[in-house]
Structure 1
Amino acid sequence: MGTIPLFLAFPSPALQLEDTSRDISPTLPIVANTVVTMAAPNDQFYLRYYSGHSGRFGHEFLEFDFRVVGDGRSAVARYANNSNYRNDSLIRKEMCVSALIVDEIKRIIKTSEILKEDDSKWPQKNKDGRQELEIRLGNDHISFETAKIGSLVDVTESADPEGLRVFYYLVQDLKALVFSLIALHFKIKPI
């Protein structure tokens, strides 16, 4: 995956989906039955990833989602990260991304072939936490839930190492993309 030009991630201060000044829920709201179509009716797209656990610092998690809005020429990307370590607070970011970013995410998903996988043999969520991945791509809809994966050793020791490897690498790619978008969108200072 190459670098993403700055013009692909643009701010949308007028687009406020929720008031983030008052935190009622620690996670992003799940968008149920609100998939907006892009150019073609069978080209629906929604992606949500969650990784979290409850431990001695409370409920700590990382969550992001992409949801197509309006006429399909852009999408809203939302990110939430909660860590109570050293009394950190909830970090929420929201930005608008172009259809090119959405197309790149779709390409990453299709290339990974995650839509062909089944999570029935993957490790179940446990005290160490869980990961969730939900994708709606056209007529395909998947929702995976598994234990948190610490390293590739956890993947190779599972009952379905090939399927879990696909999940593991897809999640790494998606997280890298999201962190890059956030860095481009929120940390670049104008000259």
Structure 2
Amino acid sequence: MCKQCGCVYARVPTVTKERKLVFASPHSFQYSLVFTDRLHLVDFFVCAGYRTMTSGEEEDFYLRYYVGHKGKFGHEFLEFEFRPEGRLRYANNSNYKNDTMIRKEAYVSQAVMKELRRIVEESEIIKEDDNNWPAPDRVGRQELEIVLGKDHISFTTSKIGSMADVQRSKDQDGLRVFYYLVQDLKCFIFSLIGLHFRIKPV
């Protein structure tokens, strides 16, 4: 069991390496760190950043989601990204009651990436477009970018609070697909982050 986060690792002994993290998203990942960590290769995760896929296993799949707004408490947002090699980046910023930004990074296994891809494919979001979706406003902004094989979509719309907002839109069917996919993605990422970083060793 990993002493850092409590997850179970297997098959490969611990290794040590130096790594540099560079975040380049326009919203949140604007920092870089250089440090040396003792790493554990994990069956489900890699506890601090080691590749879980070989180059032959990598597929053309990328996903980034952002939702946020600027208001009384400044720029509050949630953003996460899955890269083809399995790198997961996560940032959650809320200034409510002086909360600090949460930044996490991990590498996920090929099985996790396949499940994420399945969720995206079954949603059929690739068939939609955002031409008739509500434009971002003072309430908030959402961005979804996906590369799936030869398909590449980049959607932008306003923050959606409930299905009532979907039903008032010009493209109810398309926005409904987007709304339900976002809910699935949030459940997925919150489960991953919770399991990886908050689990307590037994």
**TM-score bracket for this pair, using the shorter chain length:** 0.7 to 0.9
Structure 2 counterpart of 1:99 = 110
Distance (Å, rounded) in 2 between the aligned partners of 1:68 and 1:189: 29
Distance (Å, rounded) in 1 between the aligned partners of 2:116 and 2:22: 27
Structure 2 counterpart of 1:28 = 29
Unaligned runs of 5+ in 1: 1-5, 30-35, 70-74
Structure 2 counterpart of 1:63 = 79
Contact preservation (8 Å) 1:26, 1:82: no
> Counterpart of 2:170 in 1: which secondary structure?
coil
Provide TM-score, normalisation by structure 1.
0.80
Task: Map Cα deviations across residues 52-95 of structure 1 (whole Å, 9 max, x no partner).
Answer: 000010000000000122xxxxx011110001110111100111
Cα shift at 1:156: 0.7
Q: How does 1:132-147 map to 2 (within 5 A)?
A: 132-147=143-158
Is 1:154 aligned with 2:165? yes
Q: How does 1:1-191 map to 2 (within 5 A)?
A: 16-18=19-21, 27-28=28-29, 39=56, 43-69=59-85, 75-191=86-202
Unaligned runs of 5+ in 2: 1-6, 10-14, 31-52
Cα shift at 1:17: 4.7
> Counterpart of 2:135 in 1: which secondary structure?
coil
Cα shift at 1:19: 6.4
Report how many aligned residue pairs link the two structures. Answer: 167
Cα shift at 1:129: 1.0
Mark the CA change 1:188 to 1:37 in structure 2 (over 3 Å): closer, same or farther.
closer
Which structure has the greater CA radius of gyration? 2
Mark the CA change 1:14 to 1:113 in structure 2 (over 3 Å): closer, same or farther.
farther
> Counterpart of 2:84 in 1: which secondary structure?
strand
* RMSD between aligned residues: 2.6
Mark the CA change 1:14 to 1:135 in structure 2 (over 3 Å): closer, same or farther.
farther
Provide TM-score, normalisation by structure 2.
0.75
Contact preservation (8 Å) 1:38, 1:44: no
Distance (Å, rounded) in 2 between the aligned partners of 1:176 and 1:15: 32
Distance (Å, rounded) in 2 between the aligned partners of 1:110 and 1:145: 19
Equivalent pairs: percent with the same residue?
56
Mark the CA change 1:167 to 1:151 in structure 2 (over 3 Å): closer, same or farther.
same
